[in-house]
C-alpha cells in the first residue's frame, strides 16, 4: 500500500508540479460537501446549499492566490465580497432576457479585461464570472436574493479558513531556484574573468550556458497566465530575460587584458552582487540590505572604471581600430555591470513586491512606481486598449460569447440555461482552432461523464449514503485530472460530480444527464461560432503584429535615447513617451507570447525561433536602457562645454540605420515585406565618429574627456544591437 501511495504521489508530482491542482482539489473535496450537507440537511435551505456549494467550488478550486498568507487571506475576503456584489447584480439583471444579455456583456468584459491590472484580478476572473453566471442564468424573484447571499457568505468564510489551515501553499516561485543557480554560475564566471586563465573561463562559460538553457526551459514550461502573475513573479520573469542577456554578454570572447585593475574590480563587485542576489532568491528570510550595499560598491567601481578609461585612451593612434580597441575591456566590464545592476533591481523588486499595501497589490502598482495605485492601474490597462492587443481581443470575444449564450438559451427555451453559459465559458479560447478542439473535448468528456454517472445511479439506486460518500471523491478527482491528465477527463469528472450533487439535492436520474449533454453542446456551439467570427487566428496571428510593434517602438526608443545622450543631457531633450511606449509594447508582446504558448494546436513557427525573436526585443530595449543609464548620471540641465555636433551626427546616423533595419524586420514579421539581411559594419561612419571624438572631445592637454569615453561606449552599445541581427534574420525567416 505504501509503495502504491508513493507511486501515486510521484505520478502526481510529475503531472502536477508543486501539487498546486492537488492542493486546491483536496481543499474543495473537504469543504464543498460539508457546506452542501450543512445547508441542505441542517438548514433545510436548498437555495442556500446551491450557492454555498458552487461558491466553495469557485473560491477554492478556481483560484490560487500567491504571496504571504496575510495577502492571500485578504484576496479571499475580497473575492467573497466580489461574489456578493456579482450575485446581487446577476439576480437583478436576470429579471428579463434583455437586461441579462446586456449585463452579461458588460460584466463579462469588465471582469475579463480587469485581469491586465493585477495578478489578483486575473487569477479571480473565472471565479467571478461563475458568480454572475450562476445568478443571472437561474432567474428568481428578489425574495430569493437573501438566501443566495447567505450561501455565498457561508462559502466565503469557509474558503478563508480552508486557505489558512488546509494545506497552505508555498510562496516560493518555481523560477526562483533555477534563477539562483544561474546567478551563482554567472558570478563564478565573472570572477573567473578577473582572476583565471582563458581555459578556466571557457569551463565557467559552458556551465552558465547550460544553466541558462535549463532556466529558459523551466520558464517556457511554467503554466502561467499572461498577466496572472504577481508583481514579484513578473519581476522574476523579467529576470529570466536579463540573465539571458547577461549570459549572451559573457559568451563573447574574453580579451587578454581583462585583468586590468579597474575592470577586475568591476568584475569582482558584479560577482558579489550576483551571489547576494542568489541568496535572496534561495532564502525568503534573507534581507535586501547586503544586496543593496553590494550594488553600491559595484556602482562605485563603474565610476572608477570610467575615470580610468579616460586616462587609458591614447592621445595618438594608428587607426580607429586602435582607439576603439583600447576601450574593449572597459566597455565589457561596464556592460556586465549594467546587466548585473538590472538583475539586482529585479531581485529586490521581487522581494519588496510582497511587502506592498493591499491596495497596491490589488491594483498592480509596482513597488518603485512614482504614480499612485489608480494611475498605475490606468496605465497598465491603457497599454492594452490597442487594436492588436490579444488581451483586449479575448475580453471582447469572451463578453460576446457569454452574452450570446444567455440570448441563445432563452431563444431555444432550454430548462437549464446555466449549463449552456457554463459550456460557453469552459471552451471559449483565444483562437477558433483551440475553441473547436475544446468544444469537441468538452462534449466528449460530458458524454463520458454522463455514462459513468448513469452507471453509478443504476448501481446505487436510491442509496443517498453512497452518494454522499462518492461526492468528495468525485470533487477531488474533478479538481486533479484537468491538470494531471486532460481537459476532456476534467469535463467527465465534473459531470459525474454534478450528477451526484444534484441527485442528492433533487433526484432526477436520466433526465438531468440528458439535459446536461444537450445544454453543454449548445454552449459549445455558441463558443465555436464566436471563435470563428471574432479574431479566429488568435495569438498566432497577433504575435507577429506584437513583435513588429515592439521592435519598432524599442528601436525608436534607442534613437531617442542616443539623441538625448549626445546633446546637453537635460531632461528637456529626452522623449519620455518613447520609453513608456516601448515598455507598453513589450508588455503586450509578453502577454501575446504567453497566450501563443498556451494555445493548443501545432505551432507554425518553431518555439526556439519565436523565443529568439521575443528575446531580441529585450536586447534592443535593454541596450537603450544601458545608454540612458550611462548618460543620465551626468545630466544637470546645463549646456555642454564641448562640441558634440559631429559625434552626435555620426551616432545618429548609426542609430537611424538600426531603426530602418528593425523597421524592415517589423514589416516582415507583420507580413508586409521580406526579411532584411544583417547590416555590415559601417566603416565610414565609424571613421567619422573617431575623427569627431579626436578633434572635438580632447582637452587642451591632448587628453580624452569623460564625454569622449561615453560617446565611444554609446557606439559600442549600438554595435551590440547590430550584432543581434544575424540570429534574428534566421529566426524571422522561419515565420515567412
Q: What is the mean pLDDT of residues 396-421?
A: 76
Print the SS3 string covering 125-155.
HHHHHHHHHHHHCCCCCHHHHHHHHHHHHHH
The candidate with the shortest Cα–Cα distance to 589, out of 736, 728, 383, 729, is 383
pLDDT tens per residue, range 55-97: 998 899 888 877 678 878 888 998 999 999 999 999 999 888 8
User: Would the pLDDT of 151 be above 90?
Assistant: yes
**543-733 domain in CATH 3.90.25?**
no
- Identity of the highest mean pLDDT range in 97-111, 293-307, 560-574: 97-111
Instruction: Report d(CA 35, CA 89) in Å as an integer.
Output: 24
The pLDDT mean for the chain works out to: 75
Whole-model pTM: value is: 0.65
Report which of residues 579 and 156 the model is more confident about.
156
pLDDT tens per residue, range 178-227: 888 889 998 988 888 877 666 677 777 788 878 888 777 776 655 443 33
Which parts of 43-144 fold into alpha helices (H)?
Answer: 46-60, 69-93, 97-113, 119-123, 125-136
pLDDT tens per residue, range 508-559: 545 555 555 566 666 566 666 665 555 555 555 667 777 888 888 888 888 8
The candidate with the shortest Cα–Cα distance to 346, out of 250, 248, 232, is 232
Quote the pLDDT of residue 229: 45
Cβ pair 3, 461 in contact under 8 A:
no
89 contacts: CB under 8 Å, gap ≥ 6: 103, 107, 132, 135
C-alpha distances out from residue 350 to 76, 168, 256, Å:
22, 21, 37
Quote the pLDDT of residue 149: 95
pLDDT tens per residue, range 229-274: 455 556 666 777 788 878 878 877 665 544 577 888 888 999 999 9
Crossing angle of helices 706-723 and 607-632, rounded to 10°: 170
Amino acid at each position: 500500500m505504501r509503495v502504491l501511495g508513493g507511486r501515486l504521489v510521484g505520478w502526481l508530482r510529475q503531472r502536477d508540479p508543486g501539487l498546486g491542482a492537488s492542493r486546491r482539489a483536496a481543499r474543495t473535496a473537504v469543504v464543498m460537501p460539508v457546506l452542501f450537507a450543512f445547508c441542505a440537511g441542517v438548514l433545510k435551505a436548498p437555495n442556500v446549499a446551491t450557492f454555498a456549494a458552487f461558491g466553495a467550488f469557485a473560491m477554492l478550486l478556481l483560484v490560487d492566490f500567491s504571496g504571504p498568507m496575510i495577502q492571500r487571506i485578504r484576496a479571499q475576503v475580497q473575492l467573497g465580497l466580489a461574489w456578493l456584489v456579482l450575485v446581487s447584480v446577476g439576480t437583478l439583471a436576470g429579471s428579463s432576457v434583455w437586461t441579462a444579455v446586456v449585463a452579461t456583456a458588460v460584466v463579462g468584459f469588465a471582469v475579463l479585461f480587469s485581469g491586465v491590472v493585477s495578478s489578483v484580478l486575473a487569477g479571480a476572473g473565472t471565479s467571478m464570472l461563475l458568480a454572475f453566471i450562476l445568478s443571472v442564468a437561474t432567474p428568481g424573484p428578489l425574495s430569493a436574493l437573501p438566501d443566495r447571499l447567505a450561501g455565498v457568505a457561508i462559502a466565503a468564510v469557509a474558503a478563508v479558513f480552508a486557505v489558512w489551515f488546509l494545506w497552505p501553499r508555498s510562496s516560493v516561485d518555481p523560477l526562483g531556484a533555477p534563477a539562483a543557480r544561474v546567478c551563482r554560475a554567472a558570478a563564478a564566471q565573472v570572477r573567473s574573468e578577473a582572476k583565471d586563465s582563458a581555459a578556466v573561463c571557457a569551463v565557467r562559460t559552458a556551465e552558465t550556458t547550460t544553466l541558462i538553457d535549463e532556466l529558459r526551459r523551466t520558464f517556457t514550461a511554467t503554466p502561467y497566465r499572461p498577466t496572472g502573475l504577481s508583481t514579484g513573479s513578473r519581476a522574476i520573469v523579467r529576470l529570466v530575460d536579463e540573465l539571458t542577456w547577461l549570459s549572451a554578454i559573457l559568451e563573447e570572447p574574453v580579451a587578454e587584458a581583462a585583468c586590468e585593475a579597474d575592470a577586475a574590480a568591476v568584475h569582482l563587485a558584479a560577482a558579489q552582487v550576483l551571489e547576494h542576489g542568489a541568496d535572496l532568491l534561495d532564502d525568503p528570510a534573507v534581507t535586501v540590505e547586503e544586496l543593496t550595499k553590494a550594488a553600491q560598491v559595484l556602482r562605485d567601481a563603474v565610476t572608477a572604471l570610467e575615470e580610468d578609461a579616460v586616462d587609458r585612451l591614447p592621445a595618438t593612434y594608428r587607426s580607429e581600430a586602435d582607439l576603439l580597441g583600447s576601450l574593449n575591456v572597459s566597455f565589457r566590464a561596464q556592460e556586465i555591470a549594467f546587466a548585473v545592476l538590472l538583475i539586482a533591481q529585479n531581485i529586490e523588486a521581487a522581494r519588496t513586491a510582497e511587502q506592498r499595501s493591499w491596495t497596491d497589490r490589488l491594483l498592480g502598482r509596482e513597488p518603485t512606481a512614482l504614480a499612485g495605485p489608480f494611475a498605475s492601474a490606468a496605465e497598465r490597462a491603457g497599454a492594452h486598449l490597442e487594436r492588436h492587443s490579444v488581451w483586449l481581443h479575448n475580453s471582447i470575444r469572451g463578453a460576446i460569447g457569454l452574452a450570446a449564450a444567455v440570448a441563445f438559451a432563452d431563444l431555444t427555451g432550454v430548462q437549464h440555461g446555466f449549463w449552456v453559459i457554463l459550456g460557453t465559458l469552459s471552451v471559449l479560447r483565444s483562437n477558433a482552432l483551440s475553441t473547436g478542439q475544446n468544444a469537441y473535448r468538452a462534449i466528449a468528456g460530458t458524454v463520458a461523464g454522463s455514462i459513468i454517472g448513469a452507471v453509478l445511479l443504476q448501481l446505487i439506486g436510491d442509496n443517498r449514503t453512497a452518494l454522499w460518500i462518492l461526492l468528495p471523491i468525485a470533487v477531488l478527482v474533478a479538481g486533479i485530472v484537468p491538470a494531471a491528465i486532460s481537459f476532456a477527463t476534467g469535463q467527465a469528472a465534473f459531470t459525474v460530480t454534478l450528477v451526484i450533487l444534484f441527485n442528492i439535492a433533487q433526484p432526477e436520474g436520466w433526465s438531468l444527464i440528458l439535459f446536461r449533454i444537450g445544454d453543454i453542446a449548445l454552449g459549445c456551439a455558441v463558443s465555436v461560432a464566436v471563435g470563428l467570427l471574432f479574431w479566429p487566428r488568435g495569438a498566432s496571428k497577433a504575435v507577429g503584429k506584437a513583435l513588429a510593434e515592439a521592435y519598432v517602438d524599442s528601436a525608436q526608443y534607442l534613437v531617442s535615447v542616443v539623441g538625448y545622450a549626445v546633446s546637453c543631457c537635460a531632461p528637456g531633450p529626452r522623449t519620455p513617451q518613447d520609453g513608456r511606449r516601448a515598455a507598453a509594447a513589450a508588455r503586450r508582446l509578453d502577454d501575446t507570447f504567453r497566450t501563443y504558448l498556451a494555445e493548443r494546436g501545432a505551432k507554425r513557427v518553431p518555439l526556439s525561433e519565436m523565443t529568439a525573436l521575443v528575446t531580441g526585443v529585450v536586447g534592443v530595449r535593454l541596450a537603450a536602457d544601458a545608454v540612458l543609464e550611462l548618460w543620465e548620471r551626468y545630466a544637470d540641465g546645463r549646456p555642454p562645454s564641448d562640441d558634440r555636433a559631429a559625434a552626435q551626427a555620426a551616432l545618429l546616423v548609426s542609430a537611424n540605420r538600426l531603426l530602418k533595419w528593425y523597421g524592415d524586420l517589423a514589416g516582415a514579421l507583420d507580413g508586409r515585406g521580406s526579411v532584411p539581411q544583417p547590416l555590415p559594419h559601417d566603416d565610414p561612419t565609424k571613421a567619422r565618429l573617431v575623427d569627431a571624438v579626436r578633434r572635438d572631445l580632447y582637452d587642451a592637454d591632448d587628453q580624452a574627456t569623460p564625454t569622449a569615453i561615453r560617446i565611444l561606449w554609446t557606439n559600442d552599445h549600438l554595435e551590440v544591437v547590430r550584432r543581434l541581427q544575424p540570429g534574428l534574420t534566421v529566426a524571422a525567416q522561419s515565420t515567412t
